[in-house]
């Protein structure tokens, strides 16, 4: 059973969509389940000023993308690199074992944004 926090993010996802350039956009996938996360981030003064996401996947992955997009605001590349699955897990009120892949997908996305060249 999903937590109320997860269901809230699933029912009312935040920051859906994609940002135009000069924002960075990355795609990451989970080969085990096939979920796809597209993550866009606009950096200003070394911090994320805007973040958007799109997910093709399960309920948990959609909710995790929403939680990630909120968490990313104001973060630096170093902070993105330091993101752990536990942060997303906690933001969603705890993921069921079968849904932990959603948090891992978010970590992969955040790290891909951090590594991407751009402003």
Query: What pLDDT score was predicted for residue 107?
Result: 97
* 31 Rama class: left (phi>0) / alpha (psi -120 to 50) / beta: alpha
Average pLDDT, the chain: 95
The token duo for 71 is: 């968490």
Is the domain 4-115 a CATH 3.40.50.170 member? no
Segment 33-60 shows an average pLDDT of 96
Q: Which pLDDT does position 47 carry in this prediction?
A: 97
Q: How many whole angstroms separate alpha carbon 48 and alpha carbon 46?
A: 7
pLDDT digits (tens, 9 = 90+) for 17-34: 999 999 999 999 987 788
Q: Is 21 helix (H, G, I), strand (E, B) or coil?
A: coil
Residue 119 has pLDDT above 70, yes or no: no
Q: Where are the domains of the chain?
A: 4-115
Are the C-beta atoms of 37 and 55 separated by less than 8 Å? yes
pLDDT (0 to 100) of residue 117: 87
């Amino acid at each position: 059973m999903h937590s109320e926090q997860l269901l809230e993010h699933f029912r009312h996802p935040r920051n859906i969509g994609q940002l135009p350039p000069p924002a960075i956009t990355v795609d990451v996938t989970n080969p085990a389940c096939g979920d796809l996360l597209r993550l866009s981030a606009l950096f200003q003064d070394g911090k994320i000023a805007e973040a958007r996401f799109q997910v093709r996947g399960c309920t948990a992955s959609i909710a995790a993308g929403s939680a990630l997009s909120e968490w990313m605001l104001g973060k630096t590349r170093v902070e993105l690199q330091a993101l752990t699955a536990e942060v997303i897990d906690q933001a969603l009120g705890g993921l069921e074992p079968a849904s932990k892949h959603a948090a891992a997908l978010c970590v992969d996305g955040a790290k891909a944004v951090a590594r991407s060249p751009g402003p």
